[in-house]
Every structure is written in C-alpha cells, then in structure tokens.
C-alpha cells in the first residue's frame, strides 16, 4: 500500500504549487526538495511570456496547456494575497517596461505590489529617483540612473535622477547584503530611523522612487506601507543580486501554505534511487543521513527544473540526462547548444523532457513532468518560465485529482 | 553528481568547490538572522575554507558563533557540506587555541550525570536556586536562565538493571538495541521507560548494552579528541550488534544523528564499524513508521483530543527521514498536530546554555516560542532533548517527546 498519494520532486515554483494544489485537493502529498534555489534566485514577479503566440508554436508546452495559464495565475495570486503577499496585474495584461538594478528595462505584467509602481506609463512631469543605499554594493543608483537616461523608454519618466541614503548602524555589519537590510527593515525602531534618513536624502520634486528590494521579510507588508507613507511618494522595489528578497518572501508564503494544507515538506536530500515495476514507478528514495527515505506513492510529479535548476545534467561529452528517472531528453546537438552572444536566446534552453497531453513522459505511466523540465520552451528568453510552472502544476493537479479518488488516507496507511 | 547525491558517501569530502556563491545558505542561517557576530555560513564555509590550512588555526574566530544546526547544508542547492566544514574549522581552532573550562564541563554529560544524579536533591536545589545560578554564570559562564534540566533521582540504567534479566538474548528480528543517550539516562528516564514500553508492545524486546554519551556535545564544542573517545567506546559495543542484524534505536534525534552521520562526517571514523552502526541506527519514530508500513504497528491508540504544536528539530531534519512523528500523531484519534514551520529553537545542544550566546538562542527561537504560546496548547512536542528544554523554559508550555504522547495515547486506550 503506497504511503503517499503523490510525491512531488522539486521545491521551486512548480513543485511547491503542485504540492499545495494536491494537498488542498485532499491528497497525501510529500514534496522533496534537494536544496533551495529557483525562488531564491528569481525576481519575485510572475513572467508568463506571450501566451497567445507561444501557444501557437509547435512543441511549446503552451501548445498543450496555454489555456491553463490564466486560471492557474488567478489561483496563484489569490493564494499569495491570502498569505499577505499581494501582487498587481492579471492574466492577459500587456507587459510594460520596468527598470532593473543595472539601469536596463525589462517587460513585466505581474509584479508584487511593492514592485508595481515601476511600471509604465509615467505621468507628465513625473520623474524617477533611483535611490541607492550607502555601503550596499549590489545596486549602484548612479550607474543605474545614467543607464536609464539612455534607454528608449516610451511613456517613461520626465527625468531620471539618483540619490544615495546613509542608513543607521549598517557600518557595523561585516557585509551589507539585501538580506541583512531586509531584516533590519523588519525591526520597527531601526526602520523609523532609516526611513527618516531616506526622506532627508530626497531631492525636491515629484518623484517615483525606485529602491533596492529590501523592504522587510517577515513584516514586508507593514514595512512597505510605512515606507510609502513616510516618503510621501510612490515607491517601488527593484530586485538585485541573489539572494532575492522578493523570492524568499514568495518561497516562505508557499511553504507556509503547503504545511497548512497538510502537505509534508523536506529539503536537503535528492532522489538517489527509483523503484519501478514494468511501466510505472513504485517509489523513489531520497538520500538520508545513513539509509535512504523510501517514498512510495501512486503518482509522482517531477519538478526538478532544467539545467540551471539541476534537473538536467549536461556533460562535456554532449550528453544531457534527466537526473531522477533517467527520462529521454530532447535537446539540440551539442554543436548548437550555445551561441556566442551571451544575452541572445540559447538553443540549449529548449532542452527538456517531451510529454503527452497528460504530462506523462514516454514509457512511464505515473510520472507527470512540470515546470522548466518540459521540452520546447526557452524559459529565460521567452520569459515564460513562471507561466509554464504554474499552468503545468495546475494541470497536473487536475489530472491527478480527476483520476484518483484520493484514498483519503490521512493516516500513514491503513 | 554532488556529494549529498553520492550513493556511497565518502568522508570527509572536500565539497566547497561546489559553491556557486548563491547565498542561499546565508538566507536560511538562523544565527546570522539575529546577530552580526556571525557573518553567515557562506563566508565562514566555502569562502573561509580557502584561508584554512590543515593543522593550523582558522584565521577568523567568528566561525565559533555557528550553532551547528545544519540548515545551511540542507539548503545548499549544489550539495556543499557547509555546516560540517564549519564544525571542522571550529575543531581545528579549539585544537590549536584550546577552549574554556565551561565548554569542557558542559560537554561532558556523562561526568555531570555521574556527579549530579547521586546527589540529585542537592544538585537540583542548586539548579533551581537563583543565587547559585547567578554565581554559576559569573564564575563559569553558564547562563543563569539557560535551559538546564533537573537531574533524575535515579538513572534510566539503574531502573533497567532492576528489571528481570532475560535468560536468552532475543534474535535480531525480534529485538532492538536501545541507545538511550545521556538525556534519557540522567535527566528524563521516564521517556526511556515509555520508549521501552512502546517497543515491547510492538513485539520488540529491548537490549540495553553498556554505552556512553554519543559525544555530540564534544563535537559541537570542537573537542574532537574527547568525542572520538566516546565514539570509539560506543562503536566497540554497538558494531557487534549491528553486524548481527540488530537495529539500534534512540529517542534522541541528536544522538542517533551522531551515530548515523557525525562520527563519519566530522570525526573521520569512517571504518567498517562506523558504517555498520550508521546503517543499523534508527530514530524511534522512524522505526515505528516502518513497522506501520509493514502492518506491524499496534494502532490501538486512545483518543487525545487536543491541538499539539510540534517542532521538528534541526537534528531530525538532518536525518532525511521526513517528519515521522507527524505520521504517528495522525494515527491518534482527535490529535491535531501542527508543524511549527520554524527553523530552529536556538538551543542547539549546549549553545543556548552559554552566557554570551543565551540571548542569541532566545532570538533564534522567538518565532517558535510565539507560535507555541499563541496556540494556547498546554503541551508541545519535539524530538530532541535540549530543544524540548529550551521550548519549555522559554514558553512555560510543557514540551514532551512524541513517544511520550504516543505512550499516553496507548494508556488511554488501555484504560478503555
């Protein structure tokens, strides 16, 4: 008798979302993560790409479930809002430009509320003030402002300026990172003094203020509201180098939800062994301190990410392998993996596992593949990674819930 | 292939080359979260390691503020053994520079129990006396508000010896070796009795061989030579049982993790004995879930209608066995166990007892204490002893081992 209804392998956006959806549907679910990563490295916004165009592209994951992006996104944003992490934007919104930490512009449609004021359009006469923090070397406001002034930015700000604020006490820290600043902002006393110093550093004028994404972690909503009020201007956070504070907020909200819905969660141990019987998987084993942990289930969801996430491994001899089940990987030939321009679309991005309409890879009956592992997407250059993750996770939850009347064994077995 | 993935893990691995400087470890470190004395596991581990030479002191003493919770190692997406690297760095520092009398004393739990239990009424008077605790803080550096448990009036082993002896040693299929650890022996013998009762109820005879402290307090304090002496003494006894197929079971997820991993990962005791013992060692809840999977667990649990805040301790999470206590709680009618979803209680063995670290330990555990208090529950649960004592002393909420909850539930059933 399997211990779990479903075991989800991977704890990024796709894996956590699938785990939550399954737990909410009444399944006994175990989410096994190897380490943290995806969420902590990303900007916290939701990039879905051009759903309509990509849905027409043969072989793209959206060709199978592009229609699921809207509903999945709506559910995801409702979940985050309930967790005190509101987002702005809805499925179908046209992407607008928002400034980056180095003074570039990127298109975004769905952003955390704390980042949303960076979106176009800007009112006539409204300027942008890029605010840096003294000693914080991940964001250089002067450089960002100078670069932004050179951008083609329709409906952008009338003027871009920069300022640097000195914050109290931080000279005592070994190394000032976004994480440490965010934790300091969680402290009401320090925050009050810091915001007063920021206000004193502001030049006269009508500004929207872009500042590094450091406005609190556990008490982010409170910090953001207070900052907006004290500074008396629209403010927006700009994500900087990893670790990403908006990404940590996202991860924590999802983990809390997963546990509250009754899901089990473990991180720190990858899958090292798979038990099979003919065309289905009986159990996976995660590495443990001495013996492995056997996770038997009727269904398995593979959400280990692509090459960056560690789900795929590429070796110098040109082999790309899927690391948990050894599934067949679809990839361009090695000579075409990369192009010289590092910022161009890289063919290697499209490597992944090909699935059928029910998200199943060839040859295995009870494994569903979701997220960046799916073949045919370029999750970075097409900016579709979050959309694919959320939509495939929701599709997997629907497929599994429709198939199984969950044994409703809330207990270990019976 | 990262080190954590290796089917046959080799120790000690030099894993810091795997670091991609992503800082994920720094985001999860509970100590760096509350104090700037500890800059974070990445700076201490993969980065600091470049400046360390075998046999020489670590150039930066801040690594000593690491509490050893191990969360960094689990969070690392590329499999770097960060906490282990840092603990070794501390040990090399202690080996070259020495350490305080306080650290030597509070690590030597066997000695404390030998001294304390025979004079338990007097010793406990001292532990409860504010003036004496204040003096202990000034003289020794043991925090006067640190979570010290009272000595038992009788050790677990003295209770055990008075049980009728079994003439024939039961076979390995029908018996387990109980590693009680020092907490059960000198402080919480009732937990040991509950564990024996539960194991026997489920058809497993219990063998309690002569044993010493697992050595983990010495490991945490960087006293590797002393830890190795304890480890060798235990391996000499346990390896024979392990080879004969006996499972070694403990209630302390800290001791059992030392047997499973730390003897090899930190003490370089990676021989056949250590491997046999590691493979044979089980956390008691892990074993009960295994019995249940095999359909062999007595599930006649009596109802315990209550909310139970449950804190899975760091050492348990380092086992990689999920949260077996949650699976067992789910078998008890009416029991609503809630995972604390908090990283660390702060105690980290002896860390929270040290006067200069007491406040850090309190700050680390604060979110947990708030949750436990806010739950309104009269009892909480946690698998590791010093974590239980920390939660109990910081919240006033009685905190018990999952086994004690289950034993109580069996008794409720028996009472009809």
Q: What is the pLDDT at residue A38? A: 85
CB distance from A152 to chain B under 8 Å? no
Q: Which residue in chain A has the smallest CA separation from B23? A: A243
Q: What distances in angstroms separate CA A160 from CA A81, A127, A146, B297, one per listed residue?
A: 32, 6, 8, 69
Q: Which residue in chain A has the smallest CA separation from B323? A: A264
Contact (CB<8Å) A36/B323: no
Q: Which residue in A269, A290, A412 is closest to B261 by CB distance?
A: A290
Please tell me whether the peptide bond between A396 and the residue prior to it is cis, using omega within 30 degrees of 0.
Answer: no
Mean pLDDT of B338-352: 94
d(C-alpha A84, C-alpha A79), whole Å = 9
Half-sphere exposure of A381 (CA within 13 A, CB side): 13
Mean pLDDT of B284-288: 97
The answer to whether residue B6 scores a pLDDT higher than 50 is no
Q: What is the pLDDT at residue A25? A: 94
Please tell me whether the peptide bond between A243 and the residue prior to it is cis, using omega within 30 degrees of 0.
Answer: yes
Q: What distances in angstroms separate CA A257 from CA A29, A251, A388, B118, B382, one per listed residue?
A: 13, 10, 21, 50, 22
- Terminus-to-terminus CA distance in chain B, angstroms? 54
Q: Which residue in chain A has the smallest CA separation from B254? A: A289
Contact (CB<8Å) B5/A175: no
- Chain A residues within 8 A of B322 when measuring between CB atoms: 30, 264, 266, 293
- Chain B residues within 8 A of A175 when measuring between CB atoms: 39-40, 43
Confidence of residue B10 (pLDDT cuts 50, 70, 90): very low
Secondary structure E strands in B79-220: 175-179, 205-207
Percent of chain B with pLDDT over 70: 95
Best mutation site among A173, A239, A291, A316 for testing chain B: the one with the most B CBs within 10 Å? A291
Give the residue, B61 or A258, on which the prediction is more confident. A258
Q: What is the pTM of this model?
A: 0.94
d(C-alpha B372, C-alpha B341), whole Å = 11
The average confidence (pLDDT) of chain B is 92
- Chain B residues within 8 A of A289 when measuring between CB atoms: 257, 260-261, 278, 318-321
Contact (CB<8Å) B279/A290: yes
Q: Is B416 exposed, middle or buried (0-12, 13-18, 19+ CB in 10 A)?
A: exposed
Please tell me whether the peptide bond between A121 and the residue prior to it is cis, using omega within 30 degrees of 0.
Answer: yes
Closest CA to B319 of A412, A271, A287, A10: A287
Closest CA to A201 of A134, A145, A298, A261: A134
3 state SS of B66: coil
Q: What is the pLDDT at residue A412? A: 37
Q: Which residue in chain B has the smallest CA separation from A314? A: B1
* Tens place of pLDDT per residue across chain A (414 aa): 458 999 999 999 999 999 999 999 999 999 999 988 789 999 999 999 999 999 999 999 999 999 999 999 999 999 999 999 999 998 889 999 999 999 999 999 999 999 999 999 999 889 999 999 999 999 999 999 999 999 999 999 999 999 999 999 998 887 889 999 999 999 999 999 999 999 999 999 899 999 999 999 999 999 999 999 999 999 999 999 988 999 999 999 999 999 999 999 999 999 999 999 999 999 999 999 999 999 999 999 999 999 888 899 999 899 999 999 999 999 999 999 999 998 888 899 999 999 999 999 999 999 999 999 999 999 888 999 999 999 999 999 999 998 666 654 443 333
Least confident of A67-81, A342-356, B3-17, B208-222: B3-17
Give, for A143, the enclosing helix (H) or strand (E): helix A141-149
Model ipTM? 0.92
Q: What is the pLDDT at residue A407? A: 57
Mean pLDDT of B301-309: 97
CB distance from B171 to chain A under 8 Å? no
Contacts of residues B386-389 at CB distance under 8 Å and 24 or more positions apart, as own/partner, are: B386/B147, B386/B183, B386/B254, B386/B347, B386/B348, B386/B349, B386/B350, B386/B352, B387/B311, B387/B313, B387/B314, B387/B345, B387/B347, B389/B147, B389/B148, B389/B149, B389/B347
Q: Which residue in chain A has the smallest CA separation from B79? A: A35
CB distance from B302 to chain A under 8 Å? no
CB distance from A262 to chain B under 8 Å? no
Q: Which residue in A255, A264, A413 is closest to B326 by CB distance?
A: A264
Phi, psi of B49 (to 5 degrees): -60, -25
CB distance from A35 to chain B under 8 Å? yes
Q: What is the pLDDT at residue B14? A: 64
Q: What is the pLDDT at residue B8? A: 41
Q: Which residue in chain B has the smallest CA separation from A39? A: B24
Closest CA to B273 of B226, B319, B245, B236: B236
pLDDT in tens, B66-118: 999 999 999 998 889 999 989 988 998 898 889 999 999 999 999 999 999 99
CB distance from A288 to chain B under 8 Å? yes
Q: Are B26 and B42 in contact (CB under 8 A)?
A: yes
Q: What distances in angstroms separate CA B387 from CA A2, B150, B244, B252, B361, one per listed residue?
A: 33, 15, 34, 11, 11
Q: B271: Cβ–Cβ under 8 A, 6 or more apart, which residues?
A: none
pLDDT in tens, B116-173: 999 999 999 999 999 999 999 999 999 999 999 999 999 999 999 999 877 788 899 9
DSSP B337: E
Q: Is B287 exposed, middle or buried (0-12, 13-18, 19+ CB in 10 A)?
A: buried
CB distance from B208 to chain A under 8 Å? no
């Amino acid at each position: 008798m399997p211990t779990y209804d479903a075991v989800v392998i991977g704890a990024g956006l796709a894996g956590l979302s699938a785990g939550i959806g399954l737990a909410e549907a009444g399944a006994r679910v175990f989410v096994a993560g190897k380490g943290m990563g995806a969420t902590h490295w990303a900007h916290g916004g939701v990039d879905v790409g051009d759903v309509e165009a990509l849905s027409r592209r043969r072989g793209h994951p959206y060709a199978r479930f592009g229609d699921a992006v809207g509903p999945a996104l709506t559910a995801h944003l409702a979940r985050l809002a309930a967790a005190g992490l509101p987002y702005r934007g809805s499925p179908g919104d046209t992407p607008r430009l928002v400034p980056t930490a180095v003074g570039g512009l990127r298109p975004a449609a769905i952003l955390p509320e704390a980042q949303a004021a960076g979106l176009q359009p800007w009112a006539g006469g409204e300027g942008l003030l890029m605010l840096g923090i003294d000693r914080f070397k991940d964001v250089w406001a002067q450089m960002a402002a100078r670069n932004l002034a050179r951008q083609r930015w329709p409906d952008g700000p009338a003027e871009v300026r920069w300022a640097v604020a000195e914050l109290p006490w931080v000279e005592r820290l070994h190394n000032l990172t976004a994480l440490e600043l965010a934790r300091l902002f969680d402290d009401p006393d320090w925050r009050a003094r810091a915001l007063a110093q920021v206000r004193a550093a502001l030049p006269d004028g009508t500004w929207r203020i872009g500042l590094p994404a450091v406005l609190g972690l556990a008490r982010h909503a409170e910090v953001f509201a207070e900052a907006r009020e004290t500074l008396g201007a629209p403010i927006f956070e700009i994500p900087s180098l990893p670790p990403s504070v908006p990404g940590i907020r996202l991860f924590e909200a999802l983990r809390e939800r997963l546990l509250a819905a009754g899901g089990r969660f473990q991180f720190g141990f990858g899958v090292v062994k798979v038990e099979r019987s003919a065309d289905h998987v009986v159990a996976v084993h995660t590495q443990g301190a001495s013996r492995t942990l056997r996770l038997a289930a009727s269904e398995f969801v593979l959400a280990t990410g692509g090459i960056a996430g560690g789900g795929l491994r590429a070796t110098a001899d040109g082999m790309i392998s899927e690391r948990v089940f050894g599934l067949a990987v679809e990839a361009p030939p090695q000579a075409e993996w990369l192009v010289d321009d590092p910022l161009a679309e890289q063919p290697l991005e499209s490597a992944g596992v090909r699935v059928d309409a029910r998200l199943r890879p060839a040859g295995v009956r009870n494994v569903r593949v979701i997220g960046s592992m799916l073949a045919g997407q370029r999750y970075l250059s097409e900016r579709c990674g979050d959309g694919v993750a959320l939509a495939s996770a929701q599709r997997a939850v629907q497929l599994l819930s429709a198939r199984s009347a969950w044994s409703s064994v809330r207990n270990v077995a019976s | 292939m990262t080190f954590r993935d290796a089917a046959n893990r080799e120790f000690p691995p030099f894993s810091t080359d795997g670091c991609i400087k992503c800082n994920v470890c720094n985001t999860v470190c509970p100590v760096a979260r509350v104090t700037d004395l500890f800059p974070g596991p990445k700076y201490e581990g993969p980065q600091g390691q470049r400046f360390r030479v075998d046999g020489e002191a670590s150039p930066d003493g801040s690594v000593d503020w690491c509490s050893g919770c191990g969360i960094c190692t689990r969070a690392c997406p590329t499999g770097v053994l960060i906490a282990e690297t840092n603990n070794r760095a501390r040990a090399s520092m202690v080996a070259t520079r020495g350490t305080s009398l306080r650290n030597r004393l509070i690590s030597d739990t066997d000695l404390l129990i030998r001294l304390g239990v025979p004079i338990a009424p007097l010793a406990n008077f001292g532990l409860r006396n504010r003036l004496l605790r204040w003096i202990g803080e000034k003289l020794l550096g043991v925090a006067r508000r640190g979570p010290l448990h009272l000595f038992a009036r009788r050790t677990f082993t003295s209770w055990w010896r008075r049980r009728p002896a079994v003439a024939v040693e039961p076979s390995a299929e029908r018996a387990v070796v109980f590693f009680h650890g020092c907490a059960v022996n000198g402080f919480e013998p009732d937990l040991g009795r509950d564990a024996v009762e539960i194991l026997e109820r489920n058809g497993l005879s219990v063998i309690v061989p002569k044993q010493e402290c697992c050595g983990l307090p010495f490991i945490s304090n960087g006293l590797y030579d002393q830890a190795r002496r304890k480890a060798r003494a235990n391996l000499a006894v346990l390896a024979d049982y392990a080879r004969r197929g006996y499972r070694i079971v403990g209630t302390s997820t800290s001791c059992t993790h030392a047997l499973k991993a730390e003897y090899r990962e930190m003490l370089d005791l990676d021989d056949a004995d250590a491997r046999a013992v590691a493979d044979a060692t089980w956390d008691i809840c892990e074993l009960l879930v295994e019995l249940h999977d095999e359909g062999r667990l007595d599930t006649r649990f009596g109802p315990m209608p209550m909310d139970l805040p449950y804190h899975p301790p760091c050492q348990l999470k380092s086992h990689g066995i999920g949260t077996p206590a949650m699976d067992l709680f789910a078998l008890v009618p009416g029991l609503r166990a809630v995972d604390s979803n908090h990283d660390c209680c702060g105690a980290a063995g002896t860390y929270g007892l040290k006067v200069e670290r007491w406040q850090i330990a309190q700050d680390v555990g604060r979110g947990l204490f708030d949750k436990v208090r806010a739950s309104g529950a009269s009892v909480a649960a946690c698998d590791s002893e010093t974590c239980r004592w920390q939660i109990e002393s910081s919240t006033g909420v009685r905190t018990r081992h999952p086994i004690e909850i289950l034993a109580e539930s069996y008794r409720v059933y028996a009472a009809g």
